[in-house]
Amino acid sequence: MGIKDLLTRSLDFLPFSRRYGGMSLITLTFPDGAQRQYDAGTTAAAVAQSIAPSLAKKAVAANFNGSDVDLDLPLLADGTLSIITRDSDAALPLIRHDAAHVMAEAVQKIFPGTQVTIGPSIENGFYYDFYREQPFTTDDLAAIEAEMKKIVERGASFTREVWSRKDAINFFKAKGEHFKVELIENLPGDEDIRIYKQGEWLDLCRGPHMPTTKHLGTAFKLMSVAGAYWRGDHTKAQLQRIYGTAWREQKELDAYLDMLKEAEARDHRKLGKELELFHQQEEAVGNVFWHPKGWVIWQQLENFIRGRLRQHGYHEVRTPQLIDRKLWEESGHWEKFGANMFTVTDSDKRELAIKPMNCPAHVQIFKQGIKSYRDLPLRLAEFGCCHRNEPSGALHGIMRVRAFTQDDAHIFCTPEQVTDEALKYCQLQFDVYRDLGFDKIGVKLSLRPDVRAGTDETWDKAENGLREALRLAKIEFTELPGEGAFYGPKVEFQLTDAIGRTWQCGTLQLDFVLPERLDATYIGEDGAKHRPVMLHRALLGSMERFIGILIEHYAGRFPLWLAPVQIVVATITEGASGYAQEVVKELRAAGLRAELDIRNEKINYKIREHSLQKIPIIAVIGAKEAEDKTLALRRLGSDAQEIVTFRDAIAVFQVEAKVPE
């Protein structure tokens, strides 16, 4: 295929303002705002060379008008251009994508006859799904990894070709790659069939890729094998998915593997069992059995949030679990989520759904009686128990369940109140997260998708309102074009935990659709009916999931106010039992969660046992402490011992155990 054909094909997926041949120059705008003109058809590699040879040497791809492209792709239009170097964060998805291709080649080299299906880069790594009757083993992963390093060392160039649909189908049929044939047959008729080669091996791929396999480097590792279904459909072929991780350099890989080890030690399922917080079992798939200690954490967290809601003018409500299908149809949820709803039929033969979310029910409360603009904003909150029929393969401890409770709230306000309400919410959100021990909080503003409800004017007002709120709150944020909900833009809050993982938790979403669908109105100053704006917001999201995050963030070492058992009073001698019982009684009277250990065991054994249970404070009492009315205090994680009077200890504990306000 000649350059003319390549240029013509490139027009199908590059944005452009003028075609090659119509005008010989294009204007490129760089990240610093500078502009330069180049001949149409210039590649990003040539642009990098023109800026600085050192930049060209480090370049692995480019971003043109918001899309990553190969360095050798001809640029045919005006646009924004940034060069991606291998040491940049933007290179990580490319490294992982290349790693997937290199892994697929290695698998087919070692295990001829294996079919490759789909292999994307994902967060922190990559995977590829293979069809092979014999299962892969751990030893196989080591062999594949070794072959991958040979492929990297050969340094074959990644080259892009565009094939006809017929040629691509015939090629993969001849190879016995039936899954690839199906993929091609299901592509839109006008879509390019792009092929990427690395030496003699090739695959169907949209790209882009780095210049050669050598650019991948060797900071990768194959992690595991899991089952998968073709196209995620359990009625289709069973595949084997090999997961891997890839990084820019070895120290990043080592740090990631260390983090995984730490994450395994912090796994909420493991700690939940060891600390007797909860359990799950097959008779209630996707549900949680909360034990006394775990339920203490739940209650403390719920009361903490409830206190904040009172301070911020929320009214707590409670809505039904079973609601007639008609309401879900009116709200639009039945069409979108009906397959994931649990339903029952009542004695009158009506089909009822166990609610998967609370918002339509809150609109029903808003609609009771006539609302005036003077009643707004109205903030309705609920710790609402919801059920969703999640696929069994998606369930994960208490992080992903079928029955969960949302700390949900909906704010009904006028369009003019949106910015102020969003600002107040953002301030509340940050305060709550910091009090829960999360200092690093990322914020993203998701903007209008291509398919959406409402006018552009309405979306402009909504997006600008959220932007203004974030700016007034002095919150740094990034924008995600096209990622908003169907009914409105949303602000997403991401937490970074103690070992560097990020968790998507709180959200603030603007909704113009549901008030319209369910006919919610208020009387404005002009005496006419108006639609309220509905803000959906959740501070924690799912209570279950957030508790799982807290368990892993703290590794079970909860701050004193959240700890299920705050203090254990342990005796050294039998003669100190009377005083120990008196101490526990007084601690409990002071509102502290204290337990007594007067077993006939050595004190070192008791201390070790309670330390493994992550008890924050152990108060040791021997004959001297009993005589002096003192306590020998040991804090979790410290070998130091502090002698304090009993009364002083209670005063200190009460301050430390106070729920944040």
Residue 31: cis peptide before it, omega within 30 degrees of 0: no
- Helices 292-311 and 418-435 pack at an angle, to 10 degrees, of 140
Cβ neighbours, 10 Å, residue 487: 22
Q: What is the DSSP string of 232-290?
A: G-TTS-EEEEEEEEE-SSHHHHHHHHHHHHHHHHH-HHHHHHHTT-EE--GGGTT--EE
CA 603 to chain CA centroid, Å, is: 44
Report whether 517 contacts 359 (CB < 8 A): no
Catalytic residue among 215, 410, 553, 614: 410
**Under 8 Å between Cβ of 244 and 220:** yes
Whether residue 101 lies in the annotated active site: no
405-to-247, 270, 335, 359, 430 alpha-carbon distances in Å: 37, 22, 23, 13, 21
359 as an active site residue: the answer is yes
Q: How many CB atoms lie within 10 A of CB 505?
A: 22
Which helix (H) or strand (E) segment holds residue 48: the answer is: helix 44-51
For residue 490, indicate whether it is catalytic.
Answer: yes
| Residue 542, token pair as written in the block | 């799912």
Q: Where are the alpha helices (DSSP H) in 292-417?
A: 292-311, 325-331, 333-337, 359-366
Please give the DSSP secondary-structure letter assigned to residue 488.
Answer: B
Of 379, 388, 424, 606, the active-site residue reads 388
Catalytic residue from among 78, 408, 497, 597:
408
- Annotated active-site residue in 215, 530, 536, 634: 536
Q: Which of 401, 100, 396 is nearest to 244 (CA)?
A: 100
Catalytic residue among 96, 98, 359, 537: 359
Q: Which one is catalytic: 300, 406, 429, 509?
A: 406
Judge whether 410 counts as a catalytic residue: yes
Between strands 25-29 and 79-85, the pairing is: parallel
Residue 621, CA distances (Å) to 464, 580, 591, 595, 612 in order: 62, 7, 21, 13, 20
d(CA 409, CA 259): 35
Active-site positions read: 359, 388, 406, 408, 410, 490, 536
